[in-house]
Amino acid sequence: MGTYGHFARVYDRFMEEVPYEEWGNYIERLFLQNQLQPKIIAELGCGTGNMTEIMSQKGYEMIGIDLSEDMLMIAKEKALQKKMDILYLAQDIRDFELYGTVDCFISICDTMNYLLEEEELKQVFQLVNTYLNPGGFFIFDMNTEYKYHQTLASNTFTDVQEQTAYIWENNYDLESQINEYIVNFFVQDEEGTSYTRFEEVHYQRAYQIETITKLLSDAGLEVVEVYDAFTFQPPAIDSERIYFIAKETRKKGGNNQ
């Protein structure tokens, strides 16, 4: 899994156009659609806490979990400045531990795609089941194979901002269903006289809906709905991101406690 080491310093700059507020509103609509009233929510792969903060502002008690201590340091600093009471935990989502159970888990920005083996996904799903209250839900998104194969493909993307820039080389292997991101970042120094370059390489895997449904079921979670992202429509052949809503069924999967 990628840990976003150097990228943590500039992550929020490059993610400024991501409509986190709209994503948070969509998650709340999913709550309403499924008659959910969670109080305590844990976010897996919270990064610098952008979505965690939005859900906290909406009145939910939030826990953010991420492997990158660099990301969490920024998340904690932002929460402190805004006087938000958010618990951040530096843990691998494949092996996380909570102090108690929660009403809902969420995971956005294709965190689940970073798990390259089915067994890793099942581990996460089992842990989610372990720490969900009876009748609790798990809401997460995933990039689709269509996005990796048709949209990202073997393309190169660039973005130039006032003090930062990146070159993103993408490669998708159809046989292994592994997508490789090679991103070179250029960050201007404080004097504005030179740029520092650093490289991040990340891997994600495409999964079929049927595979995810089976893995969730094996972990004791029942798929309630699968939506084309930000809609209440089923996924289409050209959907680039989809949302899963899975429910705890009291059948605890695995030995995780």
- What domains are defined for the chain? 6-144+207-248 (3.40.50.150), 147-205 (2.20.25.110)
Task: Tell me the pLDDT band of 162, cut-offs 50, 70 and 90.
Answer: confident
What per-residue confidence (pLDDT) applies to 161?
A: 81
Per-residue pLDDT of 218-243, as tens digits, reads 999 999 999 999 999 999 999 999 99
Whole-number Å distance between alpha carbons of 187 and 164: 5
Task: Tell me the pLDDT band of 196, cut-offs 50, 70 and 90.
Answer: confident
Whole-number Å distance between alpha carbons of 206 and 245: 18
Residue 12 confidence (pLDDT) above 70: no
Whole-number Å distance between alpha carbons of 102 and 157: 39
What is the distance in angstroms between the CA of the first residue and the CA of the last residue of the chain?
23
What per-residue confidence (pLDDT) applies to 238?
A: 98
What per-residue confidence (pLDDT) applies to 10?
A: 64
Residue 208 confidence (pLDDT) above 70: yes
Helices (H) and strands (E) in the chain, counts: 7, 11
Instruction: Answer whether 105's CB lies under 8 Å from 138's CB.
Output: yes
Task: Tell me the pLDDT band of 160, cut-offs 50, 70 and 90.
Answer: confident
What per-residue confidence (pLDDT) applies to 111?
A: 96
Of all residues in the chain, the percent with pLDDT exceeding 70 is 90
- Output the average pLDDT for the chain: 91
Whole-number Å distance between alpha carbons of 63 and 91: 12
